[in-house]
Amino acid sequence: MSRVTVLVLLAACGVPLASGCDRAPAPPKPATPAQVPAPSPRLVDTPTLELSADARSGTSADGTYTVKWEVVGGAIPDAEPFAIAFAVTRKDGKPVADDAEVLVDAEMPHHGHGMNFTPVVRRQGGDTFVGEGLLFHMPGRWVLAIDVGEDGVRERTQWIVDVE
């Protein structure tokens, strides 16, 4: 491998290159996926989101919540970050608590791993949310999960998402 190729690869990986021979590059800082900020499309804050009639729907494990979601922009992009819009409603008709913990995650059970980034969830207003920074980095079967926690109890709603 030529010196130029090595320098190009180092620069592409974010390794600072010394301008003179007397200075060595600083060692890279280790990072875990949870510490790396997720690349994310930024959405315009709106008071509420309207989901289309094509939004996928599911009921949480204990039946407390109905969750509907869809990809912002229409389709999951190929190995690119994306966002989902979703609405959470309680079966008893009460609003989801203002301090509810709402999380989005995805994993590939057949491969034994999840996403490389941790999505960020923002409440848009009422019972509508946006999960930003999801990244399905490879094709295959993913399990998308939305967890809602209120009063110390967390319930999961999940879907199988096949990415080609």
pLDDT for position 145: 98
Mean local confidence (pLDDT), 81-96 = 96
**Rounded Cα gap, residues 5 and 15, in angstroms:** 14
pLDDT for position 140: 95
The reported pTM is 0.71
Length of the chain equals 164
Mean local confidence (pLDDT), 153-158 = 98
pLDDT of residue 119 exceeding 80: yes
**Rounded Cα gap, residues 94 and 47, in angstroms:** 19
pLDDT of residue 160 exceeding 90: yes
pLDDT of residue 107 exceeding 70: yes
pLDDT for position 8: 41
Mean local confidence (pLDDT), 72-98 = 95
Contact 132, 40 (CB under 8 A): yes
pLDDT of residue 102 exceeding 70: yes
Q: Are strands 101-108 and 113-114 parallel, antiparallel or unpaired?
A: antiparallel
Q: 154 or 3: which carries more pLDDT confidence?
A: 154
**Rounded Cα gap, residues 144 and 88, in angstroms:** 15
pLDDT for position 23: 45
| Beta-carbon contacts of residue 50 (< 8 Å; ≥ 6 apart) | none
State pLDDT tens for residues 19-47. Answer: 444 444 445 544 444 444 444 444 444 44
Q: What angle do CA 100, 59, 75 make, to 5 degrees?
A: 90
| Residue whose tokens read 């939004």 | 55
Q: Are strands 101-108 and 140-150 parallel, antiparallel or unpaired?
A: antiparallel
pLDDT for position 13: 46
Q: 121 or 12: which carries more pLDDT confidence?
A: 121
Contact 146, 156 (CB under 8 A): yes
Q: pLDDT-derived band of residue 48, with 50, 70 and 90 as boundaries? A: low
pLDDT for position 50: 84
Average confidence score pLDDT of the chain: 81
Contact 20, 54 (CB under 8 A): no
